[in-house]
Structures are given as C-alpha cells and as structure tokens.
Amino acid sequence: MERISSSVIRQQLKLYFIMGSGNCSQTPAEVLRAAIAGGITMFQFREKGPAALTGAACMELARSLQQICRSHGIPFIVNDDIGLAVTLDADGIHVGQEDVPARTLREQLGPRKIIGVSAHTLEEAGQAIADGADYLGVGPVYPTSSKDDARAVQGTNTISVLRRSGLSIPLVGIGGITAANCRPVMAAGADGISVISAIAGAADVQAAAEAFVQAIG
C-alpha cells in the first residue's frame, strides 16, 4: 500500500475546518453539517480547553462527527490523540511540535493515514517531511484567540520562506484566517486554509464556509 498522493491531499486541504465542542455556539453536529453544506473539504476533531469532553463523552462525540464526515466523503482527522485516531480508524491525525513525532505516528498508522504536523520554521518543516508527514500546518498567520499557546504571529512570511526554499509538501495556513484575509495566505503558497472561529463561531455557519470557498476560488 502506498501513501495518499500529494495532489489528492492538496485538494482536501483547500478549506480545512477544525472544531471541538468548545468552539460551537450550536451543537457540534449542526455546525459540522452546515460547514459541510458550505463546502469544507476536510475536518479535524480538536477537543481542547477547560470544558473539553473526556473519556466516553469525547469518544461518543468524535464518533458521531466522524459518521457525518463519512456520509459526505469528508476526511476525518483527529487532533493529537493517537489512541482516539486508532480506535475510530480515523483518516488521519494532526500533531504539534510538542506531541508524538510524525515518524512514530507513521510507524504506528501505516502509509494510508494522513499525518499533519504544525511547523513554524524551515527546520521543523524539513524534519516533519523527513519523518513522513503528508502536510504541514503553518501559523499563526494572524492573531488568534482559539489557541492559548499559539506562537508569535508570523503573517504569511513563513509560508513564503518554505515555498522559496523549494518545499513542495502540501500545506495550510492557520490562525485568525477569515474570508476577508485568506487570499494573501493562498498567494504566499498555501494549498488551503485551516479555520476554527470564523466558521464555528459564525451566526450562519454555512454562509461563512461559502464565503471562504468564494474567496479561495
């Protein structure tokens, strides 16, 4: 079995929606369904923060959101939790620099699962690629209130640096991205954008996702 091709992953990354129960003003299932109707292309279950569900409740929510993704052909990625990803047979996992290295994940998950890594420098990007990552998340591009331990705002600079250095791995920009400010992220060389609050926190989730689809083109 082979790795999923970069061109497929590039398409799936176009509008990559991330969410957990703490990000939603409606039920997570309602938000996810509306986001899918609006055109998201990939979903990451990220259950973080002080009120995060744990144990069976977390598993149950993840399973129900995975089911919604499955019935719409949207890849379901788990943030950080390898146990959850394996138990659910998720389509992939996303990890940060402080989490289990991509090399270990690749050994455990095999070639067909999608592995994403957050990278903030050329060195981190190179290591993630050597370790077998399928895509990178690069940010925060703009100020964000969705991640307590976010690094310093980078603008689109890091994305440009990675592309100018010749790295062709699929990558998304993340952090504070809205339909109004997403174009420079794509212009810098991103294949897509990752979004929490501008979709999960919108009064009209479907319309918010549609606005991204229009802006990304």
Residues that bind ligand 3NM (CB under 6 A): 18, 118, 137, 139-140, 144, 146-147, 150, 174-177, 195-198
137 bridge partner residues: 118, 172
Q: Binding site annotation covers 146?
A: yes
**SS3 category, 192:** strand
Q: Give me the least distance between CB of 18 and ligand 3NM, in Å please.
A: 6
Distances (CA, A) of 188 to 8, 50, 63, 110, 195: 20, 34, 36, 32, 17
CB nearer ligand 3NM, residue 61 or residue 200: 200
| Smallest distance from ligand 3NM to CB 67, Å | 23
Phi and psi torsions of 95, nearest 5°: -130, 155
User: Is-contact 4 43, C-beta < 8 A?
Assistant: no
Residue among 75 and 176 whose Cβ is closer to ligand 3NM: 176
To the question of whether residue 197 is assigned a binding role by annotation, the answer is yes
How far apart are alpha carbons 175 and 158 in whole angstroms? 13
Compute the least distance from the CB of residue 145 to ligand 3NM, in Å: 7
Nearest approach in angstroms of CB 195 to ligand 3NM is: 5
In the chain the beta strands, taken as DSSP E runs, fall at: 15-19, 42-45, 76-79, 92-95, 114-118, 135-138, 171-174, 192-195
Question: What are the catalytic residues?
Answer: 46, 118, 147
Single out the residue of 198, 192, 161 nearest to residue 177, CA to CA.
198
Which residue, 92 or 140, has its beta carbon nearer to ligand 3NM? Answer: 140
Q: Which is nearer to ligand 3NM, 95 or 167 (CB)?
A: 95
45 is in an annotated binding site: yes
Q: Which residues are annotated as a binding site?
A: 44-48, 79-80, 99, 118, 144-147, 176, 196-197
